[in-house]
Amino acid sequence: MRSQLRPLTRSLRDRLVSHDLSQLSRSVRKEGLTYLSPAKLLRIEKALQSVSDVDGDFAEFGVALGGSAIIIASQREARSFHGLDVFGMIPEPASDKDDAKSKSRYEAIKSGASCGIDGQQYYGYREDLLADVKHNFSRHGLTVGEDGIFLYKGLFEHSWPAVKVDKLAFAHVDCDWYEPVAYCLQVIAAKLSPGGVIVIDDFHDYGGCRIAVEEFLAQNPVYMFEDGANPVLRLKV
């Protein structure tokens, strides 16, 4: 009986949270452009609001179909938005710190058996994901390559060094495994302004991500950890 009630309870919670989301976030979910739950999207919206007076650009590491990137970029005002992704098959979890769940998930994706949102084709199997994401941005009135909106294709360690950004106020890290999360935290911390935030998507989902965050916090006590569906790391002022 308990296992039968869980999906209904989760669905009800999502519907309740959805009422607090912006119209854009509701549209992005309705269009199947994000895997993020209403609770996670609401956390992102509130984190963005909290850095309105913090100096720096916005960034997302792990863009997928572009849903959360569209939400973040729409709040940039005079800032720039930088979205980074391989825009193809997700790299393998290669660290011993990645758990069995992570490796099992990757094997399912690699096999071609992964299903996308609402039965769509999984985004990593698309022939030109970058073009699809640019189209998704355009449908929401955002033009990639104009008005401070930039997308970069490739592994983070290859693309990030070429990104022209002096300061960051907000970063969303949605890249699952230990090594990419650890890399992202390192390079974001080098640019993050006091009061800036890092939102971590997979902390409660994959062991490697959790370990990377815990190691980062142990080495950087100047960050406050705000737990939740997708925890927020806030650099103390």
Q: Which residue segments constitute the domains of the chain, with CATH numbers given?
A: 48-235 (3.40.50.150)
* pLDDT reading at 1 higher than 50: no
Query: CA 124: distance to chain centroid?
Result: 15
| Rounded Cα–Cα distance for residues 217 and 54 (Å) | 21
* pLDDT reading at 17 higher than 90: no
| Burial grade of 37 (CB within 10 A; 0-12, 13-18, 19 or more) | middle
DSSP 82: E
Regarding beta strands 168-173 and 149-153, do their DSSP bridges make them parallel or antiparallel, or are they unpaired? unpaired
DSSP string of 13-71, one letter each residue? HHHHHHTTS-HHHHHHHHTT-----HHHHHHHHHHHHHTTTS-SEEEEE--TTSHHHHH
Taking Cα atoms as reference points, which of 185, 128, 116, 188 lies closest to residue 153? 128
Residue 218: pLDDT band (50, 70, 90) is very high
Local structure of 225: helix, strand or coil? strand
| Rounded Cα–Cα distance for residues 17 and 103 (Å) | 31
* pLDDT reading at 13 higher than 70: no
State the Cα torsion 186-191-197-198 to the nearest 10°.
-30
pLDDT computed for residue 217 by the predictor:
98
Q: What is the pLDDT of residues 101-128, one digit of tens each?
A: 999 999 999 999 999 999 899 999 999 9
Residue 10: pLDDT band (50, 70, 90) is low
* pLDDT reading at 179 higher than 90: yes
pLDDT computed for residue 14 by the predictor:
61
Q: What is the pLDDT of residues 36-53, one digit of tens each?
A: 999 999 999 999 999 999
- Cβ of 103: how many Cβ atoms within 10 Å? 16
Q: What is the mean pLDDT of the chain?
A: 94
Higher pLDDT, 145 or 3: 145
* pLDDT reading at 205 higher than 60: yes
Q: What is the token pair recorded at 170? A: 């907000």
Least confident of 14-23, 27-36, 87-96, 208-217: 14-23
| Rounded Cα–Cα distance for residues 168 and 196 (Å) | 7
* pLDDT reading at 8 higher than 70: no
pLDDT computed for residue 18 by the predictor:
72
Q: What is the pLDDT of residues 44-78, one digit of tens each?
A: 999 999 999 999 999 999 999 999 999 999 999 99
CA of 120: how far to CAs of 105, 138, 214, in Å?
Answer: 18, 20, 34
pLDDT computed for residue 191 by the predictor:
98
Angle at 38 between CA 34 and CA 40, to 5 degrees: 80
